[in-house]
């Protein structure tokens, strides 16, 4: 410690510390997942982290880059953790291996490593898995409290054997798998929102949106608030995304008719909304550069999430929406360049500076 | 020049490969390379059209006025494509239906017009035909390679449904390596990924060859004047 008196100037967060903060902030959401879905999410996160670090080390070694120095920035760990959180519980180990391969090797290292990837690595891995293995990727569990009498979520031993020996299972997983709230809501046609809510315990026993899932989303919201307080990122992208989901949802709520797209609260606390808003769309590498740009990017992502959820084929859409808005980041940068001090108006991104 | 035919062949097959270096004809290369049989069908059709069009264009190169050469070339190519289309409809009708619009679209394949314009209209018949054959073979080999990789990764099979192209003897050629595959490989993104990886592989091999030549103390052969869109421009 240097013997200087206050006031001290805080050093800005460096990459490794920032990445570890992000990992720590996922804990409340992870706890929510563990409480509702058993050991699966924890195994996913650990397995995906190990695979992500392994692929990163392999790719760095092949590219003749410093391995231990780059691994220590923990960015591969964050990618692994986020992908692990997004995967359905008890995904077979090869699914995790393929997903992290596409996330780390294809989406990140082939483009040049951290800072050069145009797309969010974790979401690339997720989308590749979702379109390649639709069955495995949509097998979610019924939340613990809603399981029928006499059925329990698999314990640690059974969970491990389901992950590592997916071919050797005697009992099918049907007993404890179930539709997610978004799935359920999407496939109820011709019923009033009230009737859907009354008919299914997933909604009837919920406070905000769907039973279990609302607590997962609250967990990620708490983690996100922590990151905001730590100034890991500004409010622009998350608030933009939440607004982008809530505004169209309010517009199309339709008073709860049979054509309703679901209430804003339902959309905000279902699926991957909070994970996306506070952990995915905030990725500084793939986002627009300015704060205003990030606000618009979040809005765009939110609107896309709502549109795909309500009118598309997939029940949830955070990964697709984030990848599509990553495409839009350069365009957003072009239109949202901040005004330089001393200049009257902002430049355009492609404006000639001299002459 | 005695080694000219050899050099023309090497240009088409490797150094100036239409699919991996010039990046021409990407539309069929990406869209029809979902399986070996599709890729082989389109590759052979392109090979035939390219060889015949180079031959014809070279034959008539002295009688076609410069001002109307492009329409004339297109007429020649369209005629040849129509021949291929009728032949496929007669002998491989099911494959013709699978390939659909991509057979008539061979007319618009930039490799064919590109070779007619840049090579066949300036060179004697024999050399022009050889160039067409080499470029066509280069394209066909790449599209079949892409088709094989995508079929293997995406479906876990190799040479499935070859009977569509080669008749009953090829009915049991299918090799099943896995029960199912990585579906993304047969979807459009897979085409871009596989073609990108093949281009990277070619660069890797070229870099290795150049390093080895340099180690032997020989200067690498000077690159010829050619269309290049990937890699270093010499």
Asked if A324 reaches chain B (Cβ–Cβ under 8 Å), the answer is no
**B232 falls within a domain:** no
Nearest to A299 by CA among A263, A338, A247: A247
Question: CA of A99 to nearest chain B CA: how many angstroms apart?
Answer: 11
The 10 Å CB-count burial string (b at 16+, else e) for B104-116 is ebbbebebbbbbb
| Bridge partners (DSSP) listed for residue A177 | A141
**B197 falls within a domain:** yes
Which residues are CB-contacts of B68 (< 8 A; sequence separation ≥ 6)? none
Across the range B37-60, mean pLDDT stands at 93
DSSP letter string, A147-205: SPTT-----HHHHHHHHH-GGG-SS-GGGTB---HHHHHHT--S--HHHHHHH-HHHHT
Nearest to A335 by CA among A345, A323, A321, A324: A345
pLDDT tens-digit profile of A168-210? Answer: 666 666 778 888 888 888 887 778 888 888 888 888 888 888 8
A167 versus A350: the higher-pLDDT residue is A167
**B110 falls within a domain:** yes
pLDDT of residue B47 exceeding 90 = yes
Contact B176/B157 with Cβ under 8 angstroms?
yes
Residue-range definition of the domain harbouring residue B142:
17-215
Across the range A299-311, mean pLDDT stands at 94
Angle at B11 between CA B5 and CA B17, to 5 degrees: 145
Contact A118/A286 with Cβ under 8 angstroms?
yes
Residues of B in contact with A106 (CB under 8 A): 193
- State whether the Cα torsion A152-A156-A161-A163 is positive or negative: positive
- Range in A75-79, B31-35, B93-97, B176-180 the model is least confident about: B176-180
Residues of A in contact with B191 (CB under 8 A): none
3-state class (DSSP) for residue B175:
strand
Q: Write down the number of H helices and E strands in chain A.
A: 18, 0
- Range in A199-213, A337-351, B163-177 the model is least confident about: A337-351
A204 versus A244: the higher-pLDDT residue is A244
Pull the structure tokens for residue A300.
């765009």
pLDDT tens-digit profile of A53-83? Answer: 999 999 999 999 998 888 888 899 999 999 9
Contact B181/B152 with Cβ under 8 angstroms?
yes
Backbone angles phi, psi at B175, to 5 degrees: -110, 120
Across the range B169-186, mean pLDDT stands at 84
Question: CA of A272 to nearest chain B CA: how many angstroms apart?
Answer: 23
pLDDT of residue B1 exceeding 50 = no
3-state class (DSSP) for residue A115:
coil
The pLDDT score that the predictor gives to residue A355 is 46
Q: What is the pLDDT confidence band of residue B2, given thresholds at 50, 70 and 90?
A: very low
Q: What is the pLDDT confidence band of residue A324, given thresholds at 50, 70 and 90?
A: very high
pLDDT of residue A301 exceeding 50 = yes
**B10 falls within a domain:** no
DSSP letter string, B119-159: TGGGS-HHHHHHHHHHHHHHHHHHHHHHHHHHHHHHHSEES
Q: What's the rounded Cα separation, in Å, for the pair B48 and B135? A: 11
Residues of chain A with pLDDT > 90, as a percent, come to 48
Among chain B residues, the shortest Cα distance to A99 is held by B182
- Range in A77-86, A103-112, B125-134, B160-169 the model is least confident about: B160-169
Domain ranges across chain A:
13-163+172-179, 189-335
The pLDDT score that the predictor gives to residue A167 is 73
Question: CA of A168 to nearest chain B CA: how many angstroms apart?
Answer: 16
pLDDT of residue A8 exceeding 90 = no
Contact A347/A340 with Cβ under 8 angstroms?
yes
Q: What's the rounded Cα separation, in Å, for the pair B64 and B180? A: 54
Asked if A226 reaches chain B (Cβ–Cβ under 8 Å), the answer is no
Across the range A11-32, mean pLDDT stands at 89
- Range in A150-159, A245-254, A315-324, B72-81 the model is least confident about: A150-159
What's the Cα-to-Cα distance from A22 to each of A17, A18, A45, A101, A235, rounded to whole Å?
9, 6, 14, 21, 15
Asked if B198 reaches chain A (Cβ–Cβ under 8 Å), the answer is no
Asked if B201 reaches chain A (Cβ–Cβ under 8 Å), the answer is no
Q: Would you tell me which residues 104-133 of chain A have a C-beta closer than 8 angstroms to some C-beta of chain B?
A: 106, 128, 131-133
Q: What's the rounded Cα separation, in Å, for the pair A157 and A136? A: 20
The pLDDT score that the predictor gives to residue A120 is 94
pLDDT tens-digit profile of A262-277? Answer: 889 999 999 899 999 9
- State whether the Cα torsion A299-A303-A308-A309 is positive or negative: positive
Angle at B46 between CA B42 and CA B49, to 5 degrees: 140
pLDDT of residue B188 exceeding 80 = yes
**B125 falls within a domain:** yes
Q: What's the rounded Cα separation, in Å, for the pair A336 and A289? A: 9
Largest pairwise CA distance in chain B: 58
Place of tokens 């500004």: A234
| DSSP code for A346 | P
Q: What is the pLDDT confidence band of residue A130, given thresholds at 50, 70 and 90?
A: very high
Selecting from A106, A131, A133 the residue whose C-beta is nearest the C-beta of B187 gives A131
The pLDDT score that the predictor gives to residue B225 is 54
Residues of A in contact with B203 (CB under 8 A): none
**B228 falls within a domain:** no
| DSSP code for A343 | -
pLDDT of residue B233 exceeding 50 = no
Pull the structure tokens for residue A117.
């990837």
What's the Cα-to-Cα distance from A9 to each of A5, A12, A233, rounded to whole Å?
11, 9, 19
Across the range A203-229, mean pLDDT stands at 90
The pLDDT score that the predictor gives to residue B179 is 80
The pLDDT score that the predictor gives to residue A141 is 87
- Range in A51-60, A283-292, B215-224 the model is least confident about: B215-224
**B122 falls within a domain:** yes
Place of tokens 């209209």: B121
pLDDT tens-digit profile of B196-208? Answer: 999 999 999 999 9
What's the Cα-to-Cα distance from B5 to each of A170, B9, B56, B123, B129, rounded to whole Å?
65, 6, 18, 12, 10
A164 versus A169: the higher-pLDDT residue is A164
**B190 falls within a domain:** yes
Number of domains observed in the structure of chain B: 1
Across the range A335-349, mean pLDDT stands at 76
Q: What is the pLDDT confidence band of residue A350, given thresholds at 50, 70 and 90?
A: low
Nearest to B51 by CA among B146, B139, B181: B139
Q: What's the rounded Cα separation, in Å, for the pair A251 and A310? A: 12
Residues of chain A with pLDDT > 70, as a percent, come to 93
Taking an 8 Å cut-off on Cβ atoms, the answer to whether B184 and A106 are in contact is no
pLDDT of residue A351 exceeding 80 = no
Average pLDDT, chain A: 87
Q: What is the pLDDT confidence band of residue A337, given thresholds at 50, 70 and 90?
A: confident
Taking an 8 Å cut-off on Cβ atoms, the answer to whether A132 and B193 are in contact is no
pLDDT of residue B152 exceeding 70 = yes
Across the range A26-44, mean pLDDT stands at 93
């Amino acid at each position: 410690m240097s013997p200087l008196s206050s006031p001290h100037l805080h050093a800005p967060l460096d990459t490794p510390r920032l990445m570890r903060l992000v990992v720590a902030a996922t804990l409340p959401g992870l706890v929510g997942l563990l409480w509702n879905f058993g050991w699966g999410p924890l195994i996913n996160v650990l397995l995906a982290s190990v695979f992500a670090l392994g692929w990163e080390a392999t790719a760095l070694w092949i590219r003749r880059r410093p391995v231990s120095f780059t691994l220590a920035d923990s960015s591969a760990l964050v990618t692994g953790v986020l992908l692990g959180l997004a995967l359905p519980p008890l995904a077979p180990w090869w699914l995790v291996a393929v997903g992290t391969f596409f996330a780390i090797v294809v989406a990140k290292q082939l483009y040049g490593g951290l800072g050069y990837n145009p797309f969010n690595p974790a979401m690339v891995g997720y989308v590749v898995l979702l379109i390649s293995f639709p069955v495995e990727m949509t097998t979610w569990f019924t939340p613990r409290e809603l399981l029928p009498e006499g059925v329990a979520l698999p314990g640690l031993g059974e969970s491990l054997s389901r992950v590592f020996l997916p071919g050797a299972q005697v009992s099918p997983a049907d007993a404890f798998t179930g539709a997610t709230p978004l799935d359920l809501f999407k496939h109820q046609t011709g019923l009033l929102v009230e009737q859907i809510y009354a008919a299914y315990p997933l909604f009837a026993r919920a406070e905000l949106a769907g039973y279990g899932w609302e607590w997962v989303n609250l967990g990620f919201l708490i983690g996100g608030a922590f990151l905001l307080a730590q100034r890991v990122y500004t409010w622009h992208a998350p608030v933009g995304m939440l607004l982008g989901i809530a505004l169209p949802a309010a517009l199309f709520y339709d008073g709860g008719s049979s054509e309703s797209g679901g209430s804003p609260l339902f959309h905000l606390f279902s699926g991957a909304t909070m994970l996306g808003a506070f952990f995915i769309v905030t990725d500084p590498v793939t986002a627009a550069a300015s704060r205003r740009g990030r606000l618009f990017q979040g809005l765009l992502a939110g609107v896309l999430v709502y549109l795909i959820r309500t009118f598309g084929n997939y029940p949830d859409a955070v990964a697709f929406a984030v990848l599509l808005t990553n495409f839009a980041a350069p365009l957003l940068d072009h239109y949202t360049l901040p005004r330089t001090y001393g200049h009257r108006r902002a430049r355009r991104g492609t404006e000639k500076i001299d002459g | 020049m005695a080694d000219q035919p050899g050099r023309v062949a090497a240009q088409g097959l490797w150094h100036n490969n239409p699919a991996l270096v010039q990046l021409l004809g990407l539309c069929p290369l990406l869209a029809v390379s979902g399986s070996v049989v599709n890729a082989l069908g389109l590759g052979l059709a392109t090979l035939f059209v390219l060889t015949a069009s180079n031959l014809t264009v070279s034959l008539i190169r002295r009688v076609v006025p410069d001002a109307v050469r492009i329409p004339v070339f297109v007429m020649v190519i369209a005629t040849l494509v129509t021949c291929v289309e009728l032949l496929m409809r007669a002998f491989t009708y099911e494959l013709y239906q699978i390939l659909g619009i991509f057979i008539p679209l061979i007319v618009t394949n930039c490799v064919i017009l590109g070779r007619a314009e840049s090579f066949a209209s300036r060179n004697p018949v024999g050399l022009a035909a050889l160039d067409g054959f080499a470029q066509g073979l280069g394209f066909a080999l790449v599209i079949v390679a892409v088709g094989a990789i995508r079929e293997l990764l995406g479906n876990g099979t190799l040479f499935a449904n070859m009977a569509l192209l080669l008749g009953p003897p090829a009915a049991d050629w299918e090799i099943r390596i896995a029960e199912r595959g990585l579906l993304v490989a047969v979807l459009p993104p897979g085409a871009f990924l596989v073609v990108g990886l093949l281009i990277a592989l070619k660069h890797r091999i070229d870099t290795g060859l150049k390093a080895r030549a340099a180690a032997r103390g020989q200067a690498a052969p000077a690159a010829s004047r050619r269309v290049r869109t990937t890699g270093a421009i010499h």
